[in-house]
Each structure stands twice: as structure tokens, then as C-alpha cells.
Amino acid sequence: MTELPKVKNIKRTRVEIAIRFILVVALVAGFIKLFAWNSPGAISEETKHKETSITTEDFAKCLNGKGLIMYGDDTCEKCQAQKKMFGDAFSEINYVNCYFEKDKCAAAGVTGYPMWVIEEKKLSGLQKFSNLSALTGCEASNINK
């Protein structure tokens, strides 16, 4: 009968050792994460992305600042799709509605919708942000919607 208590003590000791080991590993991992997180040289990929990302609104403001104009018509499906790409930021785009401003569109040489014009350069049809970026130099590669 004296051997049974020894077996229980051995099992209890092994469990205690395992629990202590797990606690030590957890503490060490916590300290490593804490110091890596607060280290001045440690910048996470998410932080880097946030620092380099621009919004669609920033992009639209840049396009407007460069003098880019979108000519279109509210009944044009591609114009509606282009507006949808910008979302609320489309309010920052210099937009000429050719239905109401036929003279401006004729003077700009608009032959179809949508048409993006800057100085003497023109892009016809629905455009990707990368095309508008190439035309104007406005950064669009990291747009964070």
C-alpha cells in the first residue's frame, strides 16, 4: 500500500513539471513578442502597407489636381461603371456631363464615353486605375479601399 501514494506523487510531479514548462514557454514567447513589437526597427508588413497605401479619394484628388477631366453621360453604362470604381471619391473627379454640356464636349473632341482628357492626351472607354496613373503620374498601385 505504500507504493500507491508514490505513483500518485510521480504523476502529480510530472503534471506540475509540464504546467511549469508551458508557463515558462508562454512567458518567454510573450516577452519576445513584446520586445519585437516595441522595437523601433521592427515594422510589421501591415504597418508598412498602411504607410504606403493611399485611398481612392487621394487618387481622385491627385487626378483632379493634374487637370484630368472625365467626359461622359449619365446614361452611359461604362461611365456608371467608372464612377462606381471611385465610389464616393468620384465627387473629387473633374467630370463633364456631355448630356448637359454638349459644347464643352465638342470643343474637347469627345467622340465616345467615357473619355479622359489631360492636355492633348486622351483615353477612351472604361479605364483601370493603373492607366489613369500612367497618364497622370498619380500613385494608384497601393490604393486601400
pLDDT of amino acid 11: 65
More confident residue, 103 or 21: 103
Q: Give the per-residue pLDDT at 46.
A: 47
Which one is predicted more confidently, 79 or 16?
79
**Looking at 15-24, 35-44, 129-138, which range is the least confident one?**
35-44
Q: What pLDDT is recorded for position 3? A: 54
> What is the pTM for the complete model shown?
0.63
Inform me whether the pLDDT recorded for 105 exceeds 70. Answer: yes
What secondary structure does DSSP assign to 77-137, as a single string? HHHHHHHHHHGGGGGGSEEEETTT-HHHHHHHT--SSSEEEETTEEEESS--HHHHHHHH-
**Residue range 40-94, pLDDT digits in tens:** 554 444 444 445 678 999 999 999 999 999 999 999 999 999 999 999 999 999 9
Question: What residue ranges do the domains of the chain occupy?
Answer: 3-42, 50-136
Fold adopted by 50-136: Glutaredoxin (3.40.30)
* Cell numbers for 39: 522595437
Average pLDDT, the chain: 83
Please say if the pLDDT value at position 99 is more than 90: yes
Stretch 11-37: mean pLDDT, rounded?
75
pLDDT band, very low/low/confident/very high, at 125 (cuts 50, 70, 90): very high
Q: Say which DSSP state 75 is in.
A: T
Task: State the pLDDT at residue 45.
Answer: 47
CA 127/CA 133 separation, integer angstroms: 10
